[in-house]
Amino acid sequence: MGTVSDYFGSLVFDDRVMKATLSAPVYQSLKKTIDEGAKLDISVANAVATAMKDWAVAHGATHYTHWFQPLTGITAEKHDSFISPSPDGGVVMEFSGKELIKGEPDASSFPSGGLRATFEARGYTAWDPTSYAFIKDKTLCIPTAFCSYGGEALDKKTPLLRSMEALNKQALRILRLFGNDNVKCVRTSVGPEQEYFLITKEMYDRRPDLRFTGRTLFGAKPPKGQEMDDHYFGVVKPRVAAYMAELNDELWKRGILAKTEHNEVAPAQHELAPIYTTTNIATDHNQLTMELMQKVAAKHGLVCLLHEKPFAGVNGSGKHNNWSIATDTGVNLLSPGETPYENAQFLLFLCAVIKAVDDYQDLLRIAVATAGNDHRLGANEAPPAVVSIFLGDELSAVLEAIENDTPYQGAEKTQMKLGVNVLPKFNRDTTDRNRTSPFAFTGNKFEFRMLGSSNSIACDIMLNSAVAESLKIYADRLEKAEDFETALHDMICKTIRDHKRIIFNGNGYDDTWIREATEKRGLLNYRTTPDCIPHVLDKKNVNMLTSHGVFSEAELRSRYEITLENYCKTVVIEANTMVDMARTQIAPAVEAYTMDVAKAAAAKKAVAPSLACTYETELIQKLSALTDSIAMKVEELQDALLELQKAEDIGAESEAIRDRVLPKMGELRLPCDEAETLTAKSYWPYPSYGDLLFGVK
């Protein structure tokens, strides 16, 4: 195969391929579309389509697909072959610019949240030229947006691109005020750290809960879990190492910058992290990464679990989203500068993020809300549901000095041009990272740690939009200011004063912080998906998101409906799976073991009538009581599920699930898990937690 540099991006129609296969005028026109958003001419599209088809066919592709991200949480694709009939009865390989630019998949079965009627089947996919096409399974995959016949976004890419454009527009206004006229574009960049579990396929197939829901709904705690911290950064097992090696090859062929891999905290848990890239490309890459992780696992007799909480009692899996803002000239706007004036620009963008996170903390929580992530947030393995910002002691001290107009007691005391005593060159990495913070500054970026493992990082829509709003408010004021430097100084001071409540550098796992956050600081604490999702329709959120053109009000209402519907369906499937497993396999297994213990006791009595058989008698009593409890709890859970039919709308149903169904699921699990600890292993119908977590050799 050669070295990595030889085959990296070999299955991607990237800039290198375009430059080699397109004429100079076509290439320059396409680059202008990609870099500046210029309109794509149909003649250019035709030339690109021909070159793309020829390249793909040369690499073994026979089909093409518009690869898109509907509101199902996964990707979708409809394959069409390149073949067209020729007059002599044969076929020719054709692909036009029209086919490249637009596709027409059936949209009737994708979630729409009421954006269209059931009988309105037509949907459109539109090529996103900013994200390179790639080959997968002999198919040319063309990243696209997906919309309805009426133009409403039915996907995650469209509003993500809109949010990036909104932030770009407002950031350019700010940069012009600082005299930066050579910047043409401001982009957000992301590097998502992807956590996952690997278990054997044989054990996975024997667990209905894993097959139907992605997580274990039953399971007693094993004798050993993650208590020894010996798995974290430990030696990678040979089978896992082979999996990681093949996964890297597949990712690198498709231009995905997989960089770091290691064992995570929980047994059988691992992490993969890429190098940063532009947000919409990073989003495409992460969706493809999750797909390839599962496909490659199957080739190794493994299953990759991407559920946020596949095992109770051990850490779940997140996706730490490292987010930053940079110009097309290579300047990271969240990196402290070399001069006081550059630091003033850095401080303004920093303040814009602080203001955005405080003003729209509800939207950040909404962005990561799923039934799976509800199990993880606040579980002393992931950040709490309360959103806060970690800045570190030194940067916090800088902001405090600015707010109070006092000298910063740092290594140097130099007065900025803005009349503020503050360090003119703020050093990176002057503080530790805070793993308990939902949103932590780490030197030149923020780490958004609330995402669940299976989340699409298109959730950055909300973060991008909120920061765009902060920058718009700043630009509106500064453009009208008579004295820019005075107005800038006052604005930074005001932001710090008004939004310092969101800054917290301590232990986010501490219960006293949650009380302080909610009772003293007035921060929000939306513990569950039904708690937070209705707030996407709050007036302030609707006004902000529609004003920047990120969503229409109808699109926001559809997201409300779709998210809650997905939550309800997810939990109902889990509940029905629990009922089925408990009733048809767990209870019969316990009962069979109980009967055999009773027979053994009777046999002992027959041989030696004087024997008390105390062990058997007590065990039979315990198991019989547990069997009765299981039966009762199954009925109670079924009754709770039947009650859902009385819900008047999706909001009421989600609340009933939160308040009635989930507690009943927990109550059913208790006797089942206890029964597992008392039942002989040969009788238990499923692989145990010990088998699952330590089964990969």
Residue that the structure tokens 């009692």 belong to? 313
Q: Is the pLDDT of residue 141 over 90?
A: yes
The span from the CA of 679 to the CA of 675, in Å, is 6
What pLDDT is recorded for position 408?
62
List all residues 6 or more positions away from 306 whose beta carbon is below 8 Å from its beta carbon. Answer: 196, 214, 290, 293, 294, 317, 453, 454
CA pair distance 459, 450, nearest whole angstrom: 11
Q: Quote the pLDDT of residue 74.
A: 85
| Predicted confidence (pLDDT) per residue in 560-599, tens digit | 999 999 999 999 999 999 999 999 999 999 999 999 999 9
- Per-residue pLDDT at 426: 55
- Closest to 218 (Cα-Cα) out of 615, 530, 626, 593: 626
Q: Is the pLDDT of residue 417 over 50?
A: no
Give the other-Cβ count within 10 Å of 299's Cβ: 12
According to the per-residue pLDDT averaged within each range, which of 28-42, 218-232, 497-511 is highest?
A: 497-511
Domain parsing of the chain, residue ranges: 4-154, 163-218+225-551, 565-693
pLDDT at site 337: 75
What pLDDT shows up at residue 423? 44
323 contacts 189 by C-beta, under 8 angstroms: yes
Q: How far is CA 660 from the centre of its chain?
A: 27
In this prediction, residue 414 carries a pLDDT of 45
- Band (pLDDT 50/70/90 cuts) for residue 107 is low
Same topology for domains 4-154 and 163-218+225-551, yes or no?
no
Average pLDDT of 586-613?
88
Angle of CA points 537, 187, 417, to nearest 5°: 100
Residues with Cβ < 8 Å from 199, sequence gap 6 or more? 210, 268, 302, 303, 305, 692, 693, 695, 696
In terms of CATH, what superfamily is 4-154?
Answer: Glutamine synthetase, N-terminal domain (3.10.20.70)
| CA–CA distance, 145 with 66 (Å, rounded to integer) | 9
What string of DSSP letters covers 524-570? ----SHHHHGGGGGSHHHHHHHHHTTS--HHHHHHHHHHHHHHHHHH
The CATH number assigned to the domain with range 565-693 reads: 1.20.120.1560
Q: Please tell me the distance from the alpha carbon of residue 3 to that of residue 693, in angstroms, as a whole number.
A: 34
Q: Does the pLDDT at position 111 exceed 80?
A: no
CATH of domain 163-218+225-551: 3.30.590.10
Per-residue model confidence (pLDDT) at position 96: 82
The tokens for 624 are 């019989």
pLDDT of residue 97: 80
What value does the mean pLDDT of the chain take?
90
Of the ranges 89-103, 177-191, 373-387, 655-669, which one carries the lowest mean pLDDT score?
A: 89-103
Instruction: Compute φ and ψ for 568, nearest 5 degrees.
Output: -65, -45
Locate 33 and state its tokens.
Answer: 């579309």
Other Cβ atoms within 10 Å of 413 Cβ, number: 13
pLDDT confidence of 90, banded at 50, 70, 90? low
Would the pLDDT of 420 be above 50? no
Instruction: Determine the pLDDT at residue 413.
Output: 46
CB-based contact 660:193 (threshold 8 Å): no
Give the pLDDT score at 5.
Answer: 87
- The model carries a pTM of 0.92
At 656 the pLDDT is: 97
Q: Tell me what pLDDT residue 430 has.
A: 52
Give the pair of three-digit tokens for residue 115. 């954006």
Averaged pLDDT for residues 52-81? 90
pLDDT of residue 89: 59
For residue range 344-396, what is the model confidence (pLDDT) as tens digits? 899 999 999 999 999 999 999 999 999 999 999 977 788 899 999 999 888 88
Judge whether residue 415 has pLDDT over 60.
Answer: no
Distance separating alpha carbons of residues 179 and 244, to the nearest angstrom: 47
SS3 content of the chain, % helix, strand, coil (to 5): 50, 15, 35
